[in-house]
Amino acid sequence: MAQVSNRAGKWILFAVLIIVAAAVLFPILVVFMNSFKGQLYITSQPFKFPTFKPTPDHMEEPSEAFPYGRFVPGEDATFAGITNYTRGLVQIKFFQSFGWSLWITIASVCGILICTSMLAWFITRVKNWFTTIIYFALTVSMIVPFQMVMFTMSRFANILHLDNPWGIIVLYVGFGCGMATFMFAGFIKSIPLALEEAAMIDGAGPVRTFFQVVLPMLKSTAITLAILQTMWVWNDYLLPYLTLPSTQRTIPVAIQSLRGSYGAVNWGAMMAMLVLAMLPVIIFFLACQKYIIKGVLAGAVKG
């Protein structure tokens, strides 16, 4: 009886996961389908697959409602080829925006990982009132939404000349240090202190001990954080929109510019650019997904 209930539970869980996966993948499928449609058909037939050849006109057979039959016009082909992609690449200067997004994402994620791993090691090994305050301040910062501080932040970014592709990296490191420090600190607490003491006995200083002993053991947590932070920075719209000039736009801001005046939207080009914007993150996620659960569990060993 218990075995039957276990099987039933597994099938129910499997069905729930299938439904959740379908709910997540369906919007992506809709965007992908519409990226190959003509502008008029995206709004009139958003959930239909593109058709490659027109449907011919035909005459229906006579019926009670139409004794002499009825002429039914065919539909035009909705497939637009790669027109939406070529137009979108030119209109938003995709490769220029891609370069800025790539630079900001890589530099920000590297800065977050290096700074927060060293900070987590320091506040974990040095126990005093100062490190305790820092730890709890960073923990509290995780629950503060960005919208509460965005106007003050954008003003200070302007005053401190951080409203550029180099200064925004400092802002991302500041906003991303809360969760990263929390996860690194949780894992570092599980590392035996004897390993670091042995390295110091052999003559290694604090910097060498961290980079040669501690940092290699943080690999799984660092990869997990790299995935999460990459998805956040790459897809972020609000912070680049508030701080970066119009000549140095990231991909989300550039795609949003396809919205014209009076509500006019170039839906075809927007759908095509959304597909291209998703590809790098999807590829990166699929390449590193096996480290996510391992890193999260490792960081939650001790609080």
pLDDT in tens, 100-157: 999 999 999 999 999 999 999 999 888 888 888 888 888 888 888 888 888 888 888 8
Q: 147: which 2 tokens?
A: 């919208």
Among the ranges given (12-26, 30-44, 67-81, 130-144), the one the predictor scored with the smallest mean pLDDT: 67-81
What CATH number does residue 163 fall under? Answer: 1.10.3720.10
Whether 215 is in a domain gets the answer yes
Residue 262, Ramachandran bin (φ over 0: left; ψ between -120 and 50: alpha; else beta): left
* Other beta carbons within 10 Å of 263: 6
Whether 20 is in a domain gets the answer no
Of residues 73 and 256, more confidence is placed in 256
Helix axes 219-235, 167-188, angle to 10 degrees: 150
Contact between 176 and 114 under an 8 Å Cβ cutoff? The reply is no
In this structure, what are the phi and psi dihedrals at residue 59, rounded to the nearest 5 degrees?
Answer: -110, 125
Question: Distance (Å, rounded) from C-alpha 180 to C-alpha 296?
Answer: 11
Whether 266 is in a domain gets the answer yes
Q: Tell me the pairing of strands 58-60 and 70-72.
A: antiparallel
- For the segment 154-173, the average pLDDT, to the nearest whole number, is 88
Q: What angle do CA 303, 139, 227 make, to 5 degrees?
A: 80
* Other beta carbons within 10 Å of 206: 15
Q: How many domains does the chain have?
A: 1
Question: Distance (Å, rounded) from C-alpha 58 to C-alpha 151?
Answer: 61
Contact between 271 and 35 under an 8 Å Cβ cutoff? The reply is yes
In the predicted structure, residue 265 carries a pLDDT above the cut 70: yes
Bridge partners (DSSP) listed for residue 71: 59
- In terms of DSSP H, where are the helices of the chain? 2-34, 39-44, 83-91, 94-125, 129-141, 150-159, 167-188, 193-201, 206-209, 215-217, 219-235, 238-243, 251-256, 267-288, 290-299
DSSP 8-state secondary structure symbol assigned to residue 54 = P
- Confidence class of residue 169 from pLDDT cuts 50, 70 and 90? very high
Whether 164 is in a domain gets the answer yes
Question: Distance (Å, rounded) from C-alpha 42 to C-alpha 270?
Answer: 11
Q: 105: which 2 tokens?
A: 């994402």
Whether 5 is in a domain gets the answer no
DSSP 8-state secondary structure symbol assigned to residue 57 = P
Q: How far apart are the first and last CA of the chain?
A: 39
Whether 141 is in a domain gets the answer yes
Question: Distance (Å, rounded) from C-alpha 173 to C-alpha 110?
Answer: 9
Helix (H, G, I), strand (E, B) or coil at 263: helix
Nearest to 84 by CA among 138, 150, 31, 137: 31
Of residues 11 and 69, more confidence is placed in 11
Model pLDDT, residue 66: 62
Question: Distance (Å, rounded) from C-alpha 103 to C-alpha 85?
Answer: 23
- Confidence class of residue 221 from pLDDT cuts 50, 70 and 90? confident
Residue range(s) defining the domain that contains residue 130:
92-299
pLDDT in tens, 39-53: 777 877 778 888 777
Helix axes 267-288, 2-34, angle to 10 degrees: 140
